[in-house]
């Protein structure tokens, strides 16, 4: 009996090691290809299973109102949109290049998650993906994460006006900010040197 | 050997356009409108270069974030023009209008 069990464990270990070796060598651990359907389904279930139950069933303490959605939107545009895109589609250079790619959060897979699961993912991140842990360990940080949950729920109903507003909230390189100031000064009638104008690029 | 260099030269020349007009990066030019018509306008840049820029139904004209009409692009106004990827022929995606050029 014990001998049989040991043999089974050994066979499983050998198969697991062989499977891992095949996975490593066939994928090259490249992030360029999208995960297969089986891999994606297994990973999604594993992540859902891994979320502690006390989080899964947690109720959102922040009411879904215009203020909380607006606060979540501002934070999302500044911290999340680089990967997830303003509209939540994940259609950005960073989002597409991750493995797995940033999900379309307007879709069922994300929207079917409980508020607590979304909160957990925002606070703790997801290992082996590009999703970082945003927790600051503070009550204010948790409040922000709950506001983000409200905003993620709002993603499927985003208006063109909100998308335009978010575009103005996205992080920009200092050179772009300086350039915008130069443009505003020029439009207001200030002198602009040819060199400064040439930098409008 | 000569053929090898010809291939390298050809590749280099064909890449110049795409490199200058790289995708996904908005180019802007600033200057003073020196002429305008319903389909195009000319812009004099601070270095004195005159650029002919086409406009179309998708061109968005604004002043202080307020939308205006294409007809509001008038001679003498300062403008910052979004010319997309900067590929020829230049087409304005957006035109921000400013004050009348003080140097006019």
The Cα of B21 is separated from the nearest Cα of chain A by a number of Å equal to 11
- Domain of A92: which CATH number? 1.10.760
Instruction: Please report, in tens digits, the pLDDT of each residue of chain B (104 residues total).
Output: 555 555 444 444 444 433 344 444 568 999 999 999 999 999 999 999 999 999 999 999 999 989 999 999 999 999 999 998 888 899 999 999 999 998 75
Contacts of A179 in chain B (CB under 8 A): 28
User: Which residues does chain A have within 8 Å of residue B79's beta carbon, measured at their own beta carbons?
Assistant: 187
Query: Do A104 and A184 belong together in one domain?
Result: no
| pLDDT digits (tens), chain A, 201 positions | 788 888 999 999 999 999 989 988 888 888 888 898 999 999 999 999 999 999 999 999 999 999 999 999 999 999 999 999 999 999 999 999 999 999 999 999 999 999 999 999 999 999 999 999 999 999 999 999 999 999 999 999 999 999 999 999 999 888 888 988 999 999 999 887 766 666 555
Do residues A150 and A192 both lie within one domain?
A: no
Indicate if A49 and A38 belong to the same structural domain.
yes
Q: Within this chain, do residues A108 and A146 fall inside the same structural domain, yes or no? A: yes
Model pTM score:
0.65
Answer whether residue A14 is part of any domain: no
CA distances from A161 to A180, B49, B84 (A): 21, 37, 22
How much is the pLDDT for B5?
Answer: 53
Interface test with chain B among A182, A183, A199, by most B beta carbons within 10 Å: A183
pLDDT the model gives residue A32: 86
Same domain, A138 and A42: yes
Answer whether B78 touches A (CB < 8 Å): yes
Q: Which of A176, A197, A198 to mutate to test binding with chain B, by most B CBs within 10 Å of its CB?
A: A197
- Helix (H) or strand (E) holding B85, with range, is none
Nearest to residue A198, comparing CAs of B42, B53, B52, B31? B31
Pairwise CB contact (< 8 Å): B27 & A188: no
Q: Rounded to whole angstroms, how far apart are CA atoms B60 and B69?
A: 8
* Structural domain includes residue A188: yes
Number of domains present in the structure of chain A: 2
> Residues A109, A110, A112, A116: is their CA dihedral positive or negative?
positive
Among A91, A189, A190, A191, most B C-beta atoms within 10 A, so best to mutate, is A189
Tell me what ipTM this predicted complex has: 0.73
Q: Say what the pLDDT of residue B14 is.
A: 42
- Nearest-Cα distance to chain A for B39, in Å, is 23
Q: Are A192 and B46 in contact (CB under 8 A)?
A: yes
Residue A145 shares a structural domain with residue A183: no
φ, ψ for residue B73 (rounded to 5)?
-80, 95
Closest residue in B to A182 (Cα) is: B30
Are A39 and A110 found together in one domain? yes
Q: At what angle do helices A115-124 and A139-154 cross, to 10 degrees?
A: 120
User: In this structure, are A106 and A58 located in the same domain?
Assistant: yes
Q: Are residues A195 and A104 in the same domain?
A: no
> Chain A closest CA to B40's CA: distance in Å?
20
Contacts of A201 in chain B (CB under 8 A): 27-28
- Which residues of chain A make contact with B101, given a CB cutoff of 8 A? 189
Whether A187 and A152 share a structural domain: no
A117 shares its domain with A195 = no
- Asked whether residue A9 is domain-assigned, the answer is no
Query: What is the reported pLDDT for A187?
Result: 95
Q: Which domain holds residue A195?
A: 173-201
Which residues 55-74 of B have a C-beta within 8 angstroms of A? none
Look at residue B8 in the predicted model and tell me its pLDDT: 47
Nearest chain A CA: its distance from B16 CA (Å): 17
Domain membership of residue A141 (yes or no) is: yes
Task: Mark whether A116 and A199 lie in a shared domain.
Answer: no
- Tell me if the domain spanning B24-100 has CATH number 2.40.50.140: yes
Residue of A187, A194, A200 lying closest to B98 (CB–CB): A187
């Amino acid at each position: 009996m014990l001998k049989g069990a040991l043999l089974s464990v050994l066979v499983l270990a050998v198969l697991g090691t062989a499977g891992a070796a095949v996975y490593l060598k066939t994928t090259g651990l490249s992030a360029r290809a999208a995960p297969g359907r089986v891999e994606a389904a297994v990973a999604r279930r594993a992540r859902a299973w891994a979320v502690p139950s006390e989080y899964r069933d947690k109720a959102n303490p922040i009411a879904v109102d215009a203020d909380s959605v607006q606060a979540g939107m501002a934070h999302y545009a500044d911290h999340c949109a680089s990967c997830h895109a303003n509209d939540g589609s994940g259609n950005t250079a960073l989002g597409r290049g991750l493995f797995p790619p940033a999900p379309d959060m307007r879709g069922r897979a994300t929207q079917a998650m409980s508020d607590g699961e979304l909160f957990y993912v925002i606070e703790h991140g997801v290992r082996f993906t590009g999703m970082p842990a945003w927790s600051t360990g503070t009550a204010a940080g948790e409040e922000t994460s709950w506001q983000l949950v409200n905003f993620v729920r709002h993603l499927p109903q985003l208006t063109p006006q909100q998308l335009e507003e978010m575009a103005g909230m996205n992080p920009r390189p200092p050179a772009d900010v300086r350039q915008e100031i130069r443009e505003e000064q020029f439009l207001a009638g200030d002198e602009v040197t040819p060199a400064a104008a040439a930098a409008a690029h | 050997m000569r053929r090898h260099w010809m291939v390298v030269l050809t590749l280099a020349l064909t890449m110049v356009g795409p490199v200058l007009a790289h995708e996904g990066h908005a180019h802007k030019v600033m200057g003073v409108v020196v002429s305008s018509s319903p389909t195009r306008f000319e812009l004099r840049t601070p270095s004195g270069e005159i650029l002919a820029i086409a406009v179309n139904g998708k061109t968005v004209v604004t002043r202080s974030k307020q939308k205006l009409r294409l007809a509001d692009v008038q001679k003498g106004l300062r403008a910052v023009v979004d010319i997309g990827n900067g590929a020829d022929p230049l087409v304005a995606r957006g035109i921000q209008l400013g004050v009348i050029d003080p140097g006019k």
